[in-house]
Amino acid sequence: MGRKETNPNPSMKCGSCRDDLQEYLDGTLEKKTSLQLFLHLRECVDCQVEHDRLEGMFQLLDNLPDYQAPANFDEKILASVNYQRYRAMEKIRRERVPVYLEKEFLPAMVRSRVTRLAGVGVSILSLLGMVAMDLPILSGFLPLMVVAGVVPELLVRIQGIGRRVVLAQQSES
Ligand SMILES: [Zn+2]
């Protein structure tokens, strides 16, 4: 691409002339710019050559006979698609679990490692407390704490198991 300025007219440079050339030939260029380009072309041999080249190409394209797509065009395209690989990916596409088994179904609070660990911690401490105080199993709030503490961890684990079961069933069928 010869970008050397052979143009004495400062209103348009070769770069913008080339950029607008296609629109100029299409006749869609804004009038003022179109005139500037016309003037530039008169004085710039390089751009004139480019103009003629493009114009020739456009004429060639315009004169191409309309080509009717063959009747079985769609089928040929589809046949060229690698169906085996598409099939191979089927398992991935089908690996869907019910919404309640999606990780995101549980609130982030519950899923968070901190919540789960803290919960289990509370459970263990409550349990130890019960043992230390030698309390009967179902008295006071400590048993409740033992149960409540493990809920987040349990939820996450049960969900994980459910997910594994569903996916296992899917890959068998
Ligand atoms: Zn030029």
Compute the average pLDDT of residues 38-42: 95
Tally of domains within the chain: 2
- pLDDT (average), residues 84-108: 74
Residues near ion ligand 1 (CB < 5 Å) are 7, 14, 17, 44, 47
* Residue 6 CA, ligand 1 centroid: distance in Å: 6
Q: Judge whether 69 lies within some domain.
A: no
Q: What is the mean pLDDT of residues 25-29?
A: 92
Q: What is the mean pLDDT of the segment spanning 34-42?
A: 94
Given a cut of 50, whether residue 14 has pLDDT beyond it is: yes
* Least confident span in 23-27, 76-80, 118-122: 76-80
In a domain, 1, yes or no: no
The Å distance, Cα 5 to ligand 1 centre, comes to 6
**3 in any annotated domain:** no
Residues 6+ apart with CB under 8 A from 15: 3
Domain span at residue 105 reads: 98-172
